[in-house]
Chains A and B, each alone.
Chain A
Amino acid sequence: MTTLQQKNPAQARPPEPAVNGIPAKPRPSKMRRKEARFFWLFISPWIFGFVVFLLGPMLASVYLSFTDWDSFTDPTWVGFGNYVKLITEDTVFHKALWNTLYFAFFSVPLGMGIALWLAALLNKKMKARKIFRTLVYLPHLVPIVAVALIFQMILAPDAGPLNRILAVFGVDGPAWLFDSEWVKPAIILLSLWQAGGATVLLLAGMKGIPQEFYEAAEIDGASSLRQFWSITFPQLTPIIFFNLIMGIIGAFQVFAQVYILTQGGPDNASQMLVPLLFTEAFRNYHMGYASAISWLLFLMVMALTILAFSTSRKWVFYETEVKN
């Protein structure tokens, strides 16, 4: 956004006359220079923070990922050894990778779908709408440790409310957290319970859609479903896109749910990449190995994000871009 502001005054000025045949660099106006000084002044805390606390550690972890480092003694260079071991040998890493993909594949689309559905419902004119909105957003505010404890009770094999409800319908519910087949769906369930955060963004987006669109559609005789798909959904795509990107990143970074609820068990059936990374770094003292995991994770999330961005021009609609 800053670049746009910087460009405009420069373009408005006529080019400076050439001296000795060399085109002189246009000298910025006093106002412009002052603005630039303030720009650097205000951006400097962020740049400082980025370089010292983010870029520095990131570069260090690139180096460390090529070493065997216990975090106490000097690191020893192992080249691609950590990466080779991760990709070819480490069955726990493979399991964690699969689990994370599984979790992301289900939790992100389901979460987005539920958020959209809730937002559409909450956008309707009805009684006690504000109370419902609060209720939908509330789970998002509960600390994850508390959520995990609540779910330990909800998912209890026989005494838990979920399996009791299932029993009413004659379904013999699984042992959830103790069943390697059901522990991942249980964690997905927990993440869906918190879908309310995305709902709020979508709801705000819905409020921003001009009423004329709907009026015009009504005159043309469009049903409410048709209105949703032809007006609401396209107008919301930037927010849906934002939710998608944040959802992918969040899903790959899933940590607390696993760490508190299952510790990755039973037998790594719910182990995910970030808890595994944490275990390797701070329990097993394999800091170099953990750094390699974090960079593989980074590359994967980066690749998926790029993929999402490259497809976005096909389905994400920006009003400002139409005006250009």
Chain B
Amino acid sequence: MKLLETNVSRRNVLAGLGATTLGVITLTACGSSGSGTASAGGAKNFVMTVWGGDPDKAAYQTRLDLAKAKFPDYKITLQIIPNKDYAQKVQTMISGGTGPDIMQVAEDANAYSSKNQLLALDEYISSAKLDLKATFGAVAENWKYKDKTYAVPDRAGAMILYYNKGEFDKKGLAIPTGDWTWDDLLSTAKELTGDGVYGYGGTEWWPIWMSFAYQNGGKIIDPDSGRPTVDTPEVIEALQFCQDLIYKHKVVPSKVDYANMGAGVGGDAAFASGKVMMNSTGFWNIGSLAKQDKISWDVAQIWHGKEKAISAFGSGLAISRSSKNPADAFKIIEFMTSAEGQKPILDLGQDVPARQDLQNSPEFLKPSWLKADVNMEVFPESTPSIFKPPFIPEWNEMQKAITDATADFWLGKTDAAATAADLQKRLGSIVKTQA
């Protein structure tokens, strides 16, 4: 140890290295700066941002090509961004002064509209004589904030129930319909459960348990006062029913059960592999299920409670505040959401178009891309029951609060009443700025 006692001076190299690495931390706060695309060019240049993968790119590009044929002097650039990066990318684009002209918006639309980043479209809509309610049905309400409309509905498919037809036939069970009650769901799920197979896929995802809550007459946020209302008896009863499916009746796999099935396995994967007999989710599984022949399946409407209430998955098209030419940007949106403009959505099997007339068209009900015989009527049939979810400006914070507060609940460690009280408190601190 004698060697250590020698007189030691500076440690320049290491000190320098340490300091440089330290500096990198603060960079995290700044993120990647938006690569500015030419939205500033001329007034006839438009940038449109959407999210998704290759099928989405194909559908949007086809639609934009139609728009370009109609408006030959417009130059419209499509920017497709992977789902998980979309919000962050658009945020940086807008902060960097290169925001898109037209942007796809969904659940967190009011994060933008409340911060004055989207144009209210009401004047354009009335001068174009569009009747959103008649054309798109209930989902037109989804893109309103404080009585102003900020987006035109573009895609909107109700949540549907996928069921394992082979197993239903084998056990002689009546197939699911929109007339089902909660009890019908439970009793059928019980019949289907056994031998490591579960009757139903689960309720933890917000569109599912919120559907139960709304069916029971509950609300997450009171639309009039803006206050959270998750500690009401209606919501508590619905939550308890959802939890009982897992731990009391054991007809739904718990989180632990899913983890044991493999990494990243949820209701969708478990249904496709025949471990779960009913599963509620969106349109997107039709395409992938049609490609397999392990299970025979079909889709049905979601059950009802005291009321009919079904979640929907969709998006709208909005105009960003930074658009140089909002009037013409609206013309593009008007075309994109016309019957001609939305038709590629169903032709390519990308999603459910928001237009009611297209949802009822033979091309949608008997799609050319789908060989299997699937009951596509469920989408137009479900549309009248779609409820308006609490798309508050603090949507992301609310989602995080819900995930945090219900973590122990979905593990079966707390009951609905205690969880709802806790969640009510957490939501109160998030939305208090609103009222």
Contacts and interface: CB of A to CB of B under 8 A. Distances in A.
Contacts of A267: 404-405, 407-408
Contacts of A1: 12-13
A317 B3 contact: yes
A301 B22 contact: yes
Contacts of B371: none
B49 to A, nearest CB: 15
B190 to A, nearest CB: 23
Contact of B29 (A61, A238, A324): A61
Interface in A259-311: 263, 265-268, 274, 277-279, 281-285, 287, 290-291, 293-295, 297-298, 301-302, 305, 309
Interface in B1-54: 1, 3-4, 6-9, 11-15, 17-18, 21-31
Nearest to A157: B256
A1 B15 CA distance: 12
B255 interface: yes
Nearest to B23: A54
A277 B8 contact: no
B11 A309 contact: yes
Contacts of A279: 400
Given A285-B111, A321-B6, A265 B404 contact: yes
Given A178-B255, A266-B407, A285-B115, A294 B15 contact: no
B260 A157 contact: yes
B117 interface: yes
Interface in A168-212: 175, 177-178, 180
Contact of B9 (A284, A314, A324): A324
Interface in A201-234: 230, 234
Contacts of A160: 259-260
Nearest to A253: B25
Contacts of B285: none
A278 B31 CA distance: 9
Contacts of B394: 284
A246 interface: yes
Interface residues of B, number: 53
A159 B259 CA distance: 8
Contacts of A285: 91, 111, 115, 396
B322 to A, nearest CB: 10
Contact of B117 (A72, A156, A322): A72
Nearest to A62: B26
Contacts of A249: 18, 21-22, 25
Interface string B59-77: 0000000000000000000
A306 B167 CA distance: 66
Contacts of A245: 14, 17-18, 21
B8 A282 contact: no
A73 interface: yes
A9 interface: no
A316 B95 CA distance: 47
Given A284-B397, A294-B26, A234 B3 contact: yes
B94 interface: yes
A: interface residue count bin: 35 or more
Contacts of A72: 91, 94-95, 112, 115-117
B263 interface: yes
A266 B419 CA distance: 14
B264 interface: yes
Contact of B31 (A153, A157, A282, A297): A282
Interface in A142-169: 149-150, 152-153, 156-160
B132 interface: no
A134 interface: no
A234 B15 CA distance: 20
Nearest to B411: A178
A302 B30 CA distance: 19
Contacts of B411: 175, 178, 266
B259 A156 contact: yes
A295 B26 contact: yes
A266 B263 CA distance: 17
Contact of B23 (A58, A290, A309): A58
B159 to A, nearest CB: 23
A312 B10 CA distance: 10
Given A267-B408, A285-B111, A305 B18 contact: yes
B12 to A, nearest CB: 7
Contacts of B4: 234, 237, 314-315, 317
A242 interface: yes
A125 interface: no
Given A282-B31, A324-B9, A152 B259 contact: yes
A59 to B, nearest CB: 10
Nearest to B255: A178
B403 interface: yes
A178 B256 contact: yes
B262 interface: yes
Contact of A54 (B13, B27, B396): B27
B88 interface: yes
B431 interface: no
Contacts of A309: 11, 14-15, 18
B421 interface: no
Contacts of B260: 156-160
B88 A282 contact: yes
A103 to B, nearest CB: 16
Contact of B1 (A234, A265, A318): A234
Contact of A70 (B11, B115, B256, B259): B115
A312 B259 contact: no
22 contacts: A1-B12, A57-B27, A58-B27, A71-B91, A71-B94, A72-B95, A72-B117, A73-B115, A156-B262, A159-B260, A160-B259, A180-B407, A242-B14, A249-B21, A266-B411, A268-B404, A285-B111, A294-B28, A294-B29, A312-B11, A318-B8, A321-B6
Interface of B: 1, 3-4, 6-9, 11-15, 17-18, 21-31, 87-88, 91, 94-95, 111-112, 115-117, 255-256, 259-264, 394, 396-397, 400, 403-405, 407-408, 411
6 nearest CB pairs, A to B = A266-B407, A152-B263, A159-B260, A294-B29, A267-B407, A57-B30
Given A158-B256, A242-B14, 6 more contacts: A157-B256, A245-B17, A265-B404, A265-B407, A301-B22, A318-B8
